[in-house]
Every structure is written in C-alpha cells, then in structure tokens.
Structure 1
Amino acid sequence: MAEYAEITYTVEDRIATITLNRPQARNGYTVRMSDELADAFGRADSDEEVRVVVFTGAGDHFCVGADLSQGGFDFDGEPDGPWQEPAGRCAKRIFLMNKPVIAALRGAAVGAGITITLSADYRLAATDARFGFVFTRRGIFPEGASAWFLPRLVGMGTALDWMISGRLFGAEEARAAGLVQRVYEPDELLGKAYELAREIAASTAPVSVAVTRQLLYRMSGLDSPLPVHELDSKLIAGLPAHADSVEGVVSFFEKRPPKFTLEVGKALPAYLPWLDS
C-alpha cells in the first residue's frame, strides 16, 4: 500500500513509528486498518534501516476495539480464500517480525485494541490506560489469537478471569499481572517508548535480536529442552565465523559502543526451523 488512510508510518533514527490514526473515532478498529497495519509492519520488517518499531495511537486513546459505528462488524466482503479475522491479521504479522515492537498504550485499549498488541515485545502503559477483553459482554469470541498469547503473558488463572468476566481493569493491575512491563504518566509515555527504542537500536545486534525473539516464541512451548539445546549448539558453534559476535566481544574489551554490520535479510542461519513456516 503506497498510502495509508487509517494509520501513519514514519521512520526516523532507525525507528519506525506506526500510529493508529482515527482519533475522531478513538481509533476504532476496522478491516482497512487491520490490512494497513499488516502492510506497515511488513514494510518495517523488510527495511534493514529499521531496527525497532514503536506502535501507538493518535489522540487520547490507543484503540477502543472494533468500530461498531455502522451497527455491526465489517466482514470485508467476499474473501478469495478462507476469511481471516482482522485483529489476527495484525497480531500474526507482529508475531512473525524479526524486529522488536514496542506498544505505547494510553486511554482505552479494549477488545481488538489490546489483542493486536499481545505479540509485541513490550507493552508500555500510561496511568490512564484501561484494558478489557470484553468479548463475553458482547456475545462474541476472543480474537487476535489472544487465547494463545494471553495465558503465556499473565498465566491461565488471570487470563480466565479477564476473558470470562470481560471486565475492565487499569494499568496497575495490568502491570502486576505482566500484561504491561512499565507504567508512566500520559505525557511521558511516548518519550519513554522512544528512549527504550533508541537503547535497543544502539546496543543490540539485529540478527541476534531476530533469532532471540523467534527462539522464545517458537521453542519455549516445546515439551522438552532437548531440541532447544540442539539448536542452541548449532548457533553457538557458528559464533567464530559470525561477524557480529566478534564485534560484540571486541567492543566490550575496547570499552566502546558496538558497530554491528550483519543484516537480518542476509545473515539468518539457514537451518533455523521456523524459516520454512
């Protein structure tokens, strides 16, 4: 998509910013927005100049959930293949990312407005943030693959409480449960998100981040550590020929910032088991 109507996309200082941009509707989630988000995250992922993505919303609310202003849900017309629900189109694309994603959430982050962020690496919240997996209160069902992501973040007991009751809860409860990592005042939130993004961009190796991110998602659910150790062994055995690992050690001893040069699109080990998925 050359132009976006419901989001904005910018890149500066190796950080891509993806912003929900329907503030007049409190960033109500639409099918078009979902497809623009999937396109934008793919665009950031394929751009070697982008190291980190900050995901936020224009105005006082991140996203109030599905836009019901037309009286119901938008099912996108006649699909060419099996229909894909809109929240999952975004959550799935973030899951597949090689770049870390930092979601900065203020105001309402409800329904699709929270499920689209569950595959992000960080969720930072403002003190005014309010969350809710409100599906049971609308007679509908969880989406965005949230039944897979949420228990992994907060545990099954908390996931059951939030999803069965559909109740709203605040930033401190979200932080205590592990849904968000940090809470800031509303006027500090976005600055803190960029501060974290700059730290990651300046201090970490992009190929190492890409492999680590997918190792955690793809391997942590296995019923044995043995396959993980086999993959670890291949990765560690290759370090002497891995330019970034050499630079990481040398820069440490020389007490200077590292200058990592390997690109994700060219340097991912071909044997990684998820590259064919």
Structure 2
Amino acid sequence: MTYQTLLYELDGAIATVTLNRPDKLNAYTATMGAELEEVFLRADEDDGVRVVIVTGAGRGFCAGADISGGAGAFDTQAEGSVAFQDSGSKGRVRGGGAGFVGAMFNCRKPIIAAINGAAVGVGVTLTLPMDIRITTPAAKFGFVFARRGLVPEAGSAWFLPRLVGLSQALRWCLSGKLITADEALAGQLVSEIVEPDQLLARAREIALEIAENTAPVSIALTRQMLWRFAGAPDPFGLLKLDGAFAMELGGGPDAREGVGAFLEKRAPDFPGKVSTDMPARYPWWDQL
C-alpha cells in the first residue's frame, strides 16, 4: 500500500514510518493524520512487526500544521483549511475512533520517535503517544498553540504532564516558546540526543534490543499497563490485573521459553503472537 504523505518500510521486525512532505518540512495535514491512523493499525495487526520507528524526511521532523492556505488554515469553514478537515477515518480504532492518537495509544507495539529536526505544534504532540523519543542537537520543539490562538491538541494536555510533569508542561505550553534539544532532554521530553548521521541507527539499535530479547505479548501488555495506570490514584486496580496476567502468562509457552533461554544462555524465540495469544482479560478497559 502506498501513502500520499508517508513512507512505510519493513526491515525485519522493524517498521519505519517516515513523514514524507520534505518540501513543506513535513507539515501536518488531515490526509497525514488519516494515513498515520491507517499505518499504526497496519503495524498493530502485523505479527511480523515488533517495533515502529517514526522519523521525518529531509531536514525537519514536522513543522506543525500546514498553514500555507493562510490565516484560515484552522477554520474548517475556510477554503484554505487543511489541518482540521475530515480525515476520512475508517473507524477501525479500538476504543472510540480517536484518529491517529487512538491508533498509537492502543498499538500493541512499542513506538520510537527519531526526531530529526523541528517538531512544532502537532509536530511535537504527535510524538507524545510514542514510548521513546530521541533527537539531534539542532532540533527545536514548540508547544506554540497559545501563540496561534489555539489550545494544545491531539490529547497533549493529557500526555505531556504525564511525561514531563505538570510544572514543566505548564511552562512550555503557557509561554509557547521554542525549546532546544538540551532543554527537551533536561525536561525529559526526549531521552537522548544523537548526532544526525547516527539518529536512525540509534533508533534501530533500541528497536532491536526490544525485538530480539522480549516477548511480543509481554511487551503489548506492559506498554498498556504503564500508560493506562501511570495516572491512577492508587495501585489497587492494577494489583487486581497484574497478578492475574502474571499467573496466566507464567503457565504459558512464552514464560517457559524465556526461562529456558536464560538458563541455556541463548537468544529467546518466543512463540506468542499478539494477534492470537493475548490474555482473555485484554483489553481490560473495555470490560470495566
């Protein structure tokens, strides 16, 4: 399948999604949003994919929404609006059709953002549902919404405080100023700064560490448990769940393989697949 605004490449167990409007610094459009939703549903459903890397073509990651149509770029009634038009979503997202944000959040595969340049507005908020963000020394970030007469979108008022803390999220969103890669690292928005020629190699190194050493079902559950319980007021709901999962998985083939590989000092070959072997209580949030 080909996309208008993205490239999708598979190399072994690693899928790489490239925002591909380099002449526009990969500025976001409604078409890009629909294609991101589709591509993450595709990766989620493919047992051959273990990790997804997202990066940008050219010298930028994503310069924000495409405002080339002028002052009416965000006006859904204006002819030049491209950012907020109907994305054409097929409604396949589990959990309520939340577009690409829902597709990323519900994805059973880890997501790594390799941020190769400017990430502003939706260009940075679209990375927040991802799990690991690395960047280059010259990259700039900006939660610029208040400077455009808008509010933080793509669920970022929920994601950002969980990642960097409320105080830091307020500082960045209320000022709307551009921040450097060093500031992003100090604020824990990104976890590493890597030279540009090493960025994708480092992202792939992280991805392979996950793909070659962990069980797909365990990773899918771990990702959802961490995201969904990080803001819980107490651990008791989680305690009802993680024990049940541990007991179910503990008697299964993945646990036997994991222990056997460790004792035999060899690489594991986990048989479990997210398409067929998720525990009966998954997705638990649909059962509450």
2:53 aligned partner: 54
Q: 5+ residue gaps in structure 1? A: 82-87
**Mapping for residues 1-277 of structure 1, pairs under 5 Å:** 2-71=1-70, 72-73=73-74, 74=82, 75-76=84-85, 89-272=99-282, 273-276=284-287
CA distance in 2: counterparts of 1:240 and 1:169, whole angstroms: 45
Query: Is 191-200 or 146-155 further displaced after alignment?
Result: 191-200
Contact 1:106 1:130 in 2 (8 A): no
List structure 1 runs of 4+ shifted beyond 4 angstroms.
Answer: 77-81
TM superposition score normalised by structure 1:
0.93
Give me the identity figure in percent: 48
Partner of 1:84: none
After superposition, the Cα gap between the structure-2 partners of 1:254 and 1:67, relative to the gap in structure 1 and judged at 3 Å, is same
Q: Output the TM-score relative to the length of structure 2.
A: 0.90
| Distance in structure 2 (CA, Å) of the matches to 1:80 and 1:39 | 8
Q: Residue 285 of structure 2 aligns to which amino acid in structure 1?
A: W
- Measured in 1, the distance between the counterparts of 2:153 and 2:86 equals 19
Partner amino acid for 1:10?
E
Deviates more, 1:96-105 or 1:222-231: 222-231
Distance 2:205 2:249 in 1: 30
How far the C-alpha of 1:106 sits from its partner, in A, is 1.8
Number of residue pairs aligned between Structure 1 and Structure 2: 271
Query: Is 1:206–1:264's contact at 8 Å kept on the other side of the alignment?
Result: yes
Pair 149,78 (structure 1): closer, same or farther in 2 beyond 3 Å? closer
Q: Which has the higher helix share?
A: 1
**Cα shift readout 1:72-94 (whole Å, capped 9, x = no counterpart):** 1323259899xxxxxx6322211
Contact in 2 for aligned 1:95/1:119 (Cα 8 Å): yes
- State the distance in 2 between where 1:236 and 1:209 align: 13
Query: Which amino acid in 2 is paired with 1:52?
Result: V
Gaps of 5+ in 2: 75-81, 91-97
Q: Shift of the alpha carbon at 1:208?
A: 0.2
Letter of the aligned partner of 1:139 in structure 2? G
Shift in CA distance, 58/69, structure 1 to aligned 2, threshold 3 Å: same
Separation of aligned partners in 2, 1:113 and 1:145: 13
> Quick one: which amino acid aligns to residue 3 of structure 2?
Y
